[in-house]
């Protein structure tokens, strides 16, 4: 679930400052260094040295070093989920998929078994493939909304 942006480290520093309501001057007083140094970083006129990166990440421990240095993944570590949470979401997702598929089949084929159509002119195998295709597309859409809501709920907490 890694995201990659094409912004430079100066852009990411700017994003960090926005999130924390800071500017170059306030950052220099909190982290050390000169205001001019941070303006140059923000404007892409210089690159940070190791000590600067270390000081920034040390001051903002919830900021992901991977995001700050490489632009990959979420900005905040708190936006990541644990392995246990991921496994739980996967298991829940599988259960929801199966329930949704069962409901689609019940609605599409009342009183019949899987893959059997009520209409005598409908090809039974073709009907089953169509329902499977529709079900998969609906499940993918459902999963996106569900995961979006879970991530938003986790971020709110």
Provide the pLDDT for residue 2.
Answer: 41
H-helix or E-strand spanning residue 83: helix 83-108
CATH number, domain containing residue 37: 1.10.260.40
Q: Do 38 and 28 meet the contact criterion of CB atoms below 8 Å apart? A: yes
Provide the pLDDT for residue 138.
Answer: 60
- Do 151 and 88 lie in one domain? The reply is yes
- Do 75 and 94 lie in one domain? The reply is no
Is 2 among the domain residues? no
Domain ends where: 29, 51, 79? 79
Of 88, 108, 86, 103, give the one whose Cα is nearest residue 139: 103
Give residue for tokens 């979006």. Answer: 148
Q: Do 18 and 74 meet the contact criterion of CB atoms below 8 Å apart? A: no
For the entire predicted model, the pTM comes to 0.52
Domain ends where: 79, 96, 112? 79
- Do 96 and 66 lie in one domain? The reply is no
Distance of CA 41 to the CA centre of its chain: 27
Mean pLDDT by groups of 10 residues along the chain of 157 residues: 64 94 93 93 92 93 92 85 74 76 66 51 54 61 65 65
Question: How many domains would you assign to the chain?
Answer: 2
């Amino acid at each position: 679930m890694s995201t990659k942006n094409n912004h430079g480290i100066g852009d990411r520093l700017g994003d960090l400052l926005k999130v924390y309501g800071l500017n170059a001057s306030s950052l220099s007083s909190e982290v050390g260094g000169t205001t001019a140094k941070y303006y140059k970083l923000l404007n892409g006129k210089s690159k940070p040295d190791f000590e600067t990166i270390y000081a920034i990440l040390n001051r903002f421990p919830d900021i992901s070093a991977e995001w700050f240095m490489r632009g990959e993944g979420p900005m905040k570590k708190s936006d990541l989920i644990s392995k246990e949470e991921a496994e739980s979401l996967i298991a829940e997702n599988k259960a929801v998929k199966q329930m949704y598929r069962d409901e689609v089949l019940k609605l599409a084929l009342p009183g019949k078994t899987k893959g059997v159509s009520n209409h005598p002119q409908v090809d039974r195998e073709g009907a089953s493939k169509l329902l499977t295709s529709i079900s998969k597309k609906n499940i993918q859409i459902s999963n996106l909304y569900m995961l979006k809501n879970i991530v938003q709920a986790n971020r709110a907490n």
